Structure 1
Amino acid sequence: MMHKSKKNWMRRMWFLLATIFIAAAVWFACLWQMIDRTAQEAGPRHADVGIVLGAAVWGERPSPSLRERLDCALQAYRDGYVRYLLVTGGTGEGKTLSEAEVMRAYLIEQDVPEEAILLEDKATSTYENLLFSQEVMDEYDLETALLISHDFHLVRALYIAEDLEIPASPLGTKSQVLSTTYYKAREVLALAHWQFTRLFA
């Protein structure tokens, strides 16, 4: 009798684990599809400011991946979609300049006027990028934003902007220097974590 009870318990346990695994796989697939769909639908739209989300810097220069975001922002600015570019990102460990300072220097090299570049240099995460950028927007009386990043990053950025009540549209660049599959998978996990924590916020 005890053996039969233990066997039934094991079956229920395996069924529960299988259910959790299948649910997680479906959730993962839905988030992956959401990232793809947002990337396909994203495009330049008129806004008061383009928020360029920070990424790694190499010394005092933007990394190749950060340069991709900056070049995307440059095109939007030159095409007249935004009046300002807001560069956002703090100082990484062992760095002397913040991501935002490096980004501003690059944009100035590309002939963007200094007065068209706004700076947020405290953020250490995507959430802080947008939280602190919102403060800058309020300071300059800017209402709408174009979120500029790699295409796989846009969904989470939009979720955060929505939570902060920032009217925002996405503009993404497809990376030629990053492993898209790896970073999309990492972004799916980050997005899942963000959605999970929101359930208990």
Structure 2
Amino acid sequence: MQGDYLFYVKVGWLITTLFLIIFGTSYTYNRTWLRNGIWFNLFFYSFWLALALTILSTDNNAIIYPVGFLFLFVVFCIGLAFSLQAILLLWNAALVWRRESHSLANSLTLYLGIGILLLPFFTSLIRNHLPVFWADLFTTFPALCILYAIFWFYNYLTVLVLYQLYWPRHNKDFIIVLGAGLMNGDQVTPLLAQRINKGIQFYQRQSQKTDHAPKMIFSGGQGGDETIPEGEAMRQYAVAHGVAVNDALAETTSKTTYQNMQFSKKIIDDSPIKKPKTIFVTNNYHTFRAAIFARSVGLKAAGIGSKTAGFFLPNAVMREYIAIVMRQRKLHLIMVVLMFVFSLLLVILSLHSDWIANWIQAVRQFLDNL
């Protein structure tokens, strides 16, 4: 038995190392690949499995029992959070509604929480009022779609967290600060101020360390309810908070994050600096998708994120996830169609298991006659 454990331990650590190498290579090449999340999770869980096998191989109860109880406690906490997810979502929705506008974008946790609470009732209703075939189909297919969405949401959370692990060197030539809506037509909102302050903080630290002050590009056009462009309002705020006038540039044309990157890149390209080093600043929940846009316009820039109020994060992260999904909607639509076909086949086979038995019997007879 001990020899078997040692064999599995070696295999476990070999697989873990392989996944780590694949993840490291992929992440180093392109930090905006969603597949990085898959490789990291394969490494992460294989690591804990290999560690568990290693602990079991010691056959030392003084180590095995405490670690086992700790593992059960962690599993219990995860299970408790999962079972209370609807309540937690509705609690977050109540906080958001007290502090923010009652828009669709700020109501995602509310709708999701209500949906989770109503799901068992809908399932029961389908089971009790539809024929068995349709009841099985209309419960199996949505279940597969939910699992698919959860898988990609968890993967997205992984890459979003991984993207935050970035500490740029203070050798930048440009800092792009992405805009957001203004308050009262011309005032920087608290959320936007967090972005600007994060950029100013980097600007001041680099200036003190290297005597090379980067140029700050404040990117944002003028909305229909705004009296001045966001970029100009941001520039004025930054100058009032210690950024030199000559170091503060306003990009006032963009309307989207893609255009933020596109038009800011044009300003950088028009500068006399060869091979400029650039970073961008936005809120932490937005860094990953913004990095995708930066790469798509050919801008070599990684992002740093400013902190976001905890109550605001769930809705913001869900919005970002939906936006990421919509970028690959054709792929996901194909997967939904395939899941429907698979659900259909699964239901047919489960209701007609005799078909499988007959098919297996026919194959056996065919092989016996050869």
Q: Shorter chain as normaliser: what TM range?
A: 0.7 to 0.9
TM-superposed CA distance for 1:178, in Å, is 6.2
1:77 is the counterpart of 2:77: no
> How many residue pairs are counted as aligned between the two chains?
194
Deviations 1:60-103 (A, max 9, x none): 22101111111100011111176110000011112110110100
**Aligned AA for 2:227?**
T
From 262, 280, 290, the equivalent of 1:131 is 262
Deviations 1:3-26 (A, max 9, x none): xxx855664564333322211111
TM-superposed CA distance for 1:194, in Å, is 2.7
Larger radius of gyration: 2
TM-score (norm 1): 0.85
Cα 1:24–1:67 shift into 2, 3 Å? same
Whole-angstrom distance in 1 between the partners of 2:152 and 2:314: 17
TM-superposed CA distance for 1:147, in Å, is 1.2
Q: Is the 8 A contact 1:49 1:145 kept in 2?
A: yes
1:30 is the counterpart of 2:178: no
1:50 is the counterpart of 2:175: yes
1:118 is the counterpart of 2:253: no
- 1:145 maps to what in 2? 278
1:65 is the counterpart of 2:191: yes
TM-superposed CA distance for 1:30, in Å, is 0.9
**Aligned AA for 2:283?**
H
1:20 is the counterpart of 2:162: no
- 1:189 maps to what in 2? 322
What is the RMSD computed on CA atoms of the aligned residues?
2.4
RCO greater where, 1 or 2, for CA within 8 Å and sep 6 or more? 1
Deviations 1:110-138 (A, max 9, x none): 23122111221111111111111111111
**Aligned AA for 2:261?**
L
Instruction: Write 1 or 2 for the structure with the bigger share of strand.
Output: 1
Runs of 4+ in 1 over 3 A off after TM superposition: 6-17, 195-199
Q: Is the 8 A contact 1:147 1:171 kept in 2?
A: yes
Partner secondary structure for residue 127 of structure 1:
helix
Aligned pairs for 1:162-177 within 5 A: 162-176=295-309
Whole-angstrom distance in 1 between the partners of 2:293 and 2:245: 28
